[in-house]
Amino acid sequence: MTATDSPHDHLRAADEVLAALIDDHGELGIEPAEDLFERLVTSILRQQVSMASAAATRERLFAAVDVTPAGVLAADETVLKDAGLSRQKTRYVRNVAEAFVERDYSHERFSGMDDEAVVAELTSITGVGDWTARMQLMFALGRPDVFPVGDLGIRKGMRTLYGDLSREEMVEKAEVWRPYRSYASLYLWRSKEDVAESVAEVIER
């Protein structure tokens, strides 16, 4: 790979299976989100529920409160409950709001941190697990080389394309995609129709 190769050129050269998906779906991209807090709250809403359920809760929440750290902390718990947040997720989004206030999270704050340092920082917040942190790396910070093997859609895509691999084998297989595993992940989500629908909601801002 040369310095002028694009992520898609690299993936085409590295993996003929992904090359075919790139031809089918075009050149999908990874871009930083404008609002890191909104993006992290959205990921928390998507934990352990269907995309449809998470989308409905997100719509109600964003209509009911100002989704900023201050707005969430000022909101009455009953308002958050009426928007569809469980008691646990109410606690989680408040924890995230407190962290943003106390630690002054921003693109600049994370810019000097490598991916694993960001994951360690975010997972120190109760309610933010490894999956949520890696979604934040990809879809909020726009990091190009994230491989979220803990995601069910990623594992479905890997097995659809490459056979019945273990997680360890998936991680090993993904090495050839460095330094653009985030881009490869977009195509893994697209490898089956149901997964494609999921990723369309995942990347929605």
pLDDT by residue (tens digit) across 121-171? 999 999 999 999 999 999 999 999 999 999 989 999 999 999 999 999 999
pTM here is 0.86
CA-based nearest residue to 149, from 159, 176, 126 = 159
pLDDT at 73: 96
Decide if pLDDT at 192 tops 80.
no
Buried b (16+ CB within 10 A) or exposed e, 98-112: ebbeeeebeeeebee
Give the mean model confidence (pLDDT) for residues 190-201: 54
Quick check: 203 pLDDT over 70? no
* 197 has a pLDDT exceeding 50: no
pLDDT digits (tens, 9 = 90+) for 93-123: 999 999 999 999 999 999 999 999 999 999 9
Q: Which superfamily, per CATH, for 36-139?
A: Hypothetical protein; domain 2 (1.10.340.30)
Q: Which two tokens stand for residue 49?
A: 């529920």
Q: What are the boundaries of each domain within the chain? A: 7-30+147-202, 36-139
- 7-30+147-202 shares its CATH topology with 36-139: no
Check whether 205 has a pLDDT greater than 50.
Answer: no
Confidence category of residue 48, pLDDT binned at 50, 70, 90: confident
Percentage of residues in the chain with pLDDT exceeding 90? 84
Rounded to the nearest integer, the mean pLDDT of the chain is 90
Position 200 confidence tier, pLDDT thresholds 50, 70, 90: very low
Residue 22, judged by CB atoms within 10 A of its CB (0-12, 13-18, 19+), counts as buried
The amino acid at 166? S
According to the model, what pLDDT value does residue 5 have?
79
Classify domain 7-30+147-202 by CATH number.
1.10.1670.40
The pLDDT of residue 193 is 53
